[in-house]
Structure 1
Amino acid sequence: MGKSCCQPPEPDQTSHNDPGWRLILWIALIANAAMFLVEIVAGLAADSRALQADALDFFGDAANYAISLGVAGMALAWRAKAALFKAATMLTFGLWVIGYTVYGLAAGSNPEPQTMSLIGTLALLVNLAVALLLFRYREGDANMRSVWICSRNDAIGNLTVLAAARGVFGTRKAWPDLLVASIMAGLAIWGSAEVFAQARRELAHG
């Protein structure tokens, strides 16, 4: 277990307003907004629940990066409150994806693996680039940590989308796509719990 899983990291009093941090957030915001548009169109065209779920995750991340930019220069308490809000959005995304996956099981779907593979690879490259830029800030306050967790989960999610594409291609069935959508929901719920716990600790310590 990493230190950040066992105890809250010491709040950095300067890095949250670091110009480099702000620049990375702007890059991440623009990249995620662009990928939302690409993936939602591709997901609908390919009838892929996993791609559509990943697209909505990109949209949520873009909104979260915008929130992080808005509170970057504020006191720790405000940044912790913003992290609580972001944890709530991550949880909402996870629950929505679970519901959407159940609907896919009932209504049926016919995902197109080639499109899933192509767009999943593009999304993975974008998320890896953003995650590498954010890596140095992964042990900051709850607000910074929430941004890192989002990027980390996104990269993991993209790998599962690629696995789903292979599964759909190999089996000619939709269940790998629906399974991956469920895994992405679990990642969002797990990440929200991590962010929520650290933000509560920061608020409790004033």
Structure 2
Amino acid sequence: MTDPASAGAPSERRTLWIVLVLNAGIAIAFLVAGVTADSSALLANGLDNLSDAAVYALSLAALGRAAKWKVGAATVSGVMLLVLAGGVLLDVGRRYLQGSEPIGVTMMLMSAVAAAVNYACLKLLQRVREPDVNLRAATTFSFNDFISNGGILVAGALVWWLGSNWPDLVVGFATALIAVKGGIEILRDARREAHEIKEKDA
């Protein structure tokens, strides 16, 4: 069953396809750089962007569908963010106990490229008029990513300057906290939307 109000939204669909492709590309770059640079922060953001790409795919599937379907897709998005946060926390804990040797220069370069990509995604999403619950979730993801990129830039500079791994671990931990916050916000928004739907149906 489709939602007449959202059916035939080519601009929203085009925007989501663009941010989906951009996030998938930057996620792969982050994951490769995270492994080669032994960086928890880069890996965390790679998983974050990969999760974002999956959420954008869900948002695309939700376009033109019934409002209840959209709420369900947004709920899945929020849960995915919380699961991501748990995985990042485990990785940070492992690196704290076992040690790591992140490469600061790689962290700085990747953060600069990713910041430009995420800023472009954020501006595209903010242009959408009257975004539904899934598009609002997508905007939350892009904003969180942009903030995280700034943290990686600072952490990379500190790793390079101090020759220590603790700035990388701090940013990885902070990325997890940002993901928790974003996931909770998305779930609250979905719950509020579901409540409004129930009131309309009553």
TM-score clears 0.5 = yes
| Cα pair distance change 1:62/1:134, threshold 3 Å | same
Q: Please state how far the C-alpha of 1:201 moved relative to its aligned partner.
A: 1.2
| Partner residue in 1 for 2:164 | 173
1:197 paired with 2:182, answer: no
CA contact (8 A) 2:6 2:63 kept: no
1:94-128 CA-partner distances (Å, limit 9, x unpaired): 11111110111001000001111111111111000
Counterpart code for 1:100: D
Match of 1:145 among 133, 136, 147: 136
What is the number of residues matched between the two proteins? 195
Partner SS, residue 205 of structure 1:
helix
Return the TM-score normalized by structure 2.
Answer: 0.92
1:109 paired with 2:100, answer: yes
5+ long unaligned stretches in structure 2: 198-202
| Cα pair distance change 1:17/1:91, threshold 3 Å | farther
1:188 paired with 2:179, answer: yes
Counterpart code for 2:13: R
Counterpart code for 1:172: G
State the percentage of identical aligned residues: 38
| Partner residue in 2 for 1:94 | 85
How far apart, CA to CA, are the structure 2 residues paired with 1:159 and 1:138? 28
1:159 paired with 2:150, answer: yes
Return the TM-score normalized by structure 1.
Answer: 0.90
How far apart, CA to CA, are the structure 2 residues paired with 1:154 and 1:138? 22
| Partner residue in 2 for 1:34 | 25
1:22 paired with 2:13, answer: yes
Counterpart code for 1:87: G
How far apart, CA to CA, are the structure 2 residues paired with 1:198 and 1:112? 38
Q: Please state how far the C-alpha of 1:39 moved relative to its aligned partner.
A: 1.2
Q: Please state how far the C-alpha of 1:162 moved relative to its aligned partner.
A: 0.4
Instruction: Quote the RMSD (CA, aligned, Å).
Output: 1.6
How far apart, CA to CA, are the structure 2 residues paired with 1:138 and 1:182? 34
| Cα pair distance change 1:67/1:101, threshold 3 Å | same
